[in-house]
Amino acid sequence: MSKHSIYSSYRETLIEHLFISELLKISWKMGDCSLEVAKPEVDNSGYDLIVEREGVVRHIQLKSSYLGGRTSTQKVHTKLSNKPAGCVIWLYFDESTLDLGPFLYFGGRANEPLPSLVEAKIARHTKGDHDGYKAERPMIREINKGMFSKYSSIVDLYNVLFDVSDLHE
């Protein structure tokens, strides 16, 4: 069993901190240090982070996969649609170095809502009951990888999140 399986929650937290660090670094380099980051106390509304820059507030659900992983869908809570500019960011990372990228993005432009989840497939529980039946999870939808936009750099993703078109690496 790999370290990634044994310490998956540790790795998840580490990836989240690396991501936040990269966003804060961009804000620092821009010279404005205007990015604010918050985390919810309770995880029941479909987002992991709240980031704000100059009036643009993003509720972000983070997902991660290692480079070369075969996951083709992500599960998204429908409550994320109730947030003004909710989005899903699917981070890829290198298993050995933990370097981040590329970045997949599912969401609208700055201050625009999450695209509709109405047509998305209703997710099912991963484990069956005593009869093996996997019940539907009516508040969770499966989003196909093809519905995400791909960005090779964190700077490109930052531009999309906050509509900063004059930012370059």
Q: What is the pLDDT of residues 20-57, one digit of tens each?
A: 999 999 999 998 899 999 999 998 889 999 999 999 99
Assign 66 to helix, strand or coil. strand
In a domain, 19, yes or no: yes
The amino acid sitting at 128 is G
Kindly report whether the global pTM for this prediction surpasses the value 0.85. yes
DSSP letter (8 states) at residue 16: H
**At 26, which helix (H) or strand (E)?**
helix 8-30
Instruction: Report the pLDDT value the prediction gives residue 143, as an integer from 0 to 100.
Output: 96
Inter-CA distances, 72 with 10, 90, 137, 143, Å: 23, 11, 19, 9
In a domain, 107, yes or no: yes
Q: Domain total for the chain?
A: 1
In a domain, 51, yes or no: yes
In a domain, 136, yes or no: yes
Q: Is 60 within 8 Å of 48 (Cβ atoms)?
A: yes
- Name the nearest CA neighbour of 162 among 17, 12, 24, 14: 24
In a domain, 74, yes or no: yes
For residue 37, give both structure tokens: 């980051």
CATH of the domain at 38: 3.40.1350.10
Instruction: Report the pLDDT value the prediction gives residue 166, as an integer from 0 to 100.
Output: 59
The amino acid sitting at 85 is A
Instruction: Report the pLDDT value the prediction gives residue 86, as an integer from 0 to 100.
Output: 96
DSSP letter (8 states) at residue 78: G
Instruction: Report the pLDDT value the prediction gives residue 31, as an integer from 0 to 100.
Output: 87
In a domain, 147, yes or no: yes
* Residue 2 binned pLDDT confidence (cut-offs 50, 70, 90): confident
In a domain, 11, yes or no: yes
Q: Is 86 within 8 Å of 113 (Cβ atoms)?
A: yes
Tens digit of each residue's pLDDT (9 = 90 or more) over 89-146:
999 999 999 999 999 999 999 999 999 898 899 898 888 888 888 989 999 999 999 9
Torsion sign across C-alpha atoms 159, 101, 78, 8: negative
In a domain, 169, yes or no: no
Instruction: Report the pLDDT value the prediction gives residue 112, as an integer from 0 to 100.
Output: 93
Which structural domain, as residue segments, surrounds residue 118? 3-162
DSSP letter (8 states) at residue 149: E
Q: Is 87 within 8 Å of 94 (Cβ atoms)?
A: no
